């Protein structure tokens, strides 16, 4: 691995850059060797029996002008998704309090925007402040941000901003045409510069090759500072979207992606994200063994279903997992 003297804001020296070949080689390892390596890295950096819980809320649904071909909220696809304006503070707080009572430590609010207008942020800032006042970690995902907007969210006390790369730069154009990979990298840079923690990951199951999965992880791992949270979503195939009939991903291939993410980003929280309703308990257990240590927790994601809280609590209990780990002190 090439070692560079890259002193990040977090003060980490000697970050290692991954080459394409090194990233792809992980996916070629025998499964047992890959999992052993990933689990070893996981144990060196985390308590392997702890899982962080984030709850999602769609605070502005539908009618998004972008054409992300996986997304039910794009105005271009006929998906019957509800179209709503930004939710009022009391409704958000009700949902955040319920999430906190159920055990979530982070509350993530999503809005179906290409990029928020400054007046949109006027509506979101009080929501962030209110959730923060409950003592929860805050996260929002609002689309592209400029430098000033990122600073404004930082001043509101935002802990995390979610903005995904989704896939490799090479495959990206097959999935989204209305914004570029570079647009996404620019937003992530603005978020980093505002000292907001970055939550950035992607989707498995878009029709990408294994090399694209390796390259997505390489893009994430080689960032100036590795994202603090890395959501790995399994595509939720929503009727009406262009990817509704995409081929299912073999569970072993999904777990390999989690394992490679853990090895390449040893200190990041790797989130077993969308798509858990189509996974068996065994696939989820293997994902935790491979290094996933965060999930979306709560009965729904943004517009689609997530395993119900009682089912997740049973899963934690059967695996002896302690939930609710907070990522900062």
CB environment 131-147: b (16+ within 10 A), e (fewer): bbeeebbbbbbbbbbee
- In the list ligand SF4, ligand SAM, ligand DTB, none, the entry touching 298 (Cβ below 5 to 8 angstroms by class) is none
- Contact with ligand SAM (CB under 6 A) among 116, 143, 291, 298: 143
Q: Is residue 295 close enough to count as binding ligand SAM by CB under 6 A? A: no
Which contiguous run of DSSP H or E holds residue 234? Answer: strand 229-234
Q: Shortest approach of ligand DTB to residue 293 CB, angstroms?
A: 15
Count residues near ligand SAM (CB under 6 A): 18
User: Taking every pair of C-alpha atoms in the chain, what is the biggest distance, in angstroms?
Assistant: 52
User: Is 200 designated active site?
Assistant: no
Which contiguous run of DSSP H or E holds residue 139? Answer: strand 137-141
The pattern of x and - marking residues 111 through 150 that bind ligand DTB according to CB under 6 A reads ------------------------------x---------
| Residues numbered 235-294 forming contacts with ligand SF4, rule: CB under 6 A | none
Nearer to ligand SAM, 46 or 297 (CB): 297
Q: Shortest approach of ligand DTB to residue 221 CB, angstroms?
A: 17
Q: 13: exposed, middle or buried (C-beta count within 10 Å: 0-12, 13-18, 19+)?
A: exposed
| Residues numbered 111-140 forming contacts with ligand SF4, rule: CB under 6 A | 112, 114
Residue 195 backbone class (left: φ over 0; alpha: ψ -120 to 50; beta: rest): left
- Is-contact 249 204, C-beta < 8 A? yes
Q: Is residue 235 close enough to count as binding ligand SAM by CB under 6 A? A: yes
Q: Which residues are catalytic?
A: 64, 68, 71, 108, 139, 199, 271
């Amino acid at each position: 691995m090439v070692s560079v003297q890259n002193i990040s804001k977090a003060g980490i020296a000697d970050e290692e850059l991954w080459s394409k070949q090194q990233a792809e080689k992980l996916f070629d390892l025998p499964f047992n060797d890959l999992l052993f390596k990933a689990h070893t890295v996981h144990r060196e950096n985390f308590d392997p029996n702890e899982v962080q819980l984030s709850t999602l809320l769609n605070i502005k649904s539908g009618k998004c002008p972008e054409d992300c071909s996986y997304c039910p909220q794009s105005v271009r696809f006929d998906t019957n998704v509800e179209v709503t304006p930004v939710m009022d503070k009391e409704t958000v707080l009700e949902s955040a309090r319920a999430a906190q009572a159920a055990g979530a430590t982070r509350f993530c609010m999503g809005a179906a925007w290409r990029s928020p207008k400054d007046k949109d942020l006027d509506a979101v800032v009080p929501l962030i402040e209110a959730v923060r006042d409950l003592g929860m970690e805050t996260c929002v995902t609002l689309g592209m941000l400029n430098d000033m907007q990122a600073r404004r969210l930082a001043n509101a006390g935002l802990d995390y901003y979610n903005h995904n790369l989704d896939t490799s730069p090479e495959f990206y154009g097959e999935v989204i045409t209305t914004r570029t990979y570079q647009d996404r990298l620019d937003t992530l840079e603005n978020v980093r510069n505002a000292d907001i923690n970055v939550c950035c990951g992607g989707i498995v199951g878009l029709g990408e090759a294994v090399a694209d999965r390796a390259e997505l992880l390489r893009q994430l791992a080689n960032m100036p500072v590795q994202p603090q949270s890395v959501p790995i979503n399994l595509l939720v195939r929503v009727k009406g979207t262009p990817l509704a009939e995409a081929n299912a991903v073999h569970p072993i291939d999904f777990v390999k992606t989690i394992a490679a993410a853990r090895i390449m980003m040893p200190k990041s929280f790797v989130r077993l994200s969308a798509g858990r309703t189509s996974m068996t308990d065994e696939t989820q257990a293997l994902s935790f063994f491979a290094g996933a240590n965060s999930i979306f927790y709560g009965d729904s994601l943004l517009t689609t279903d997530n395993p119900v809280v009682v089912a997740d609590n049973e899963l934690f209990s059967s695996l002896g997992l302690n939930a609710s780990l907070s990522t900062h002190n």
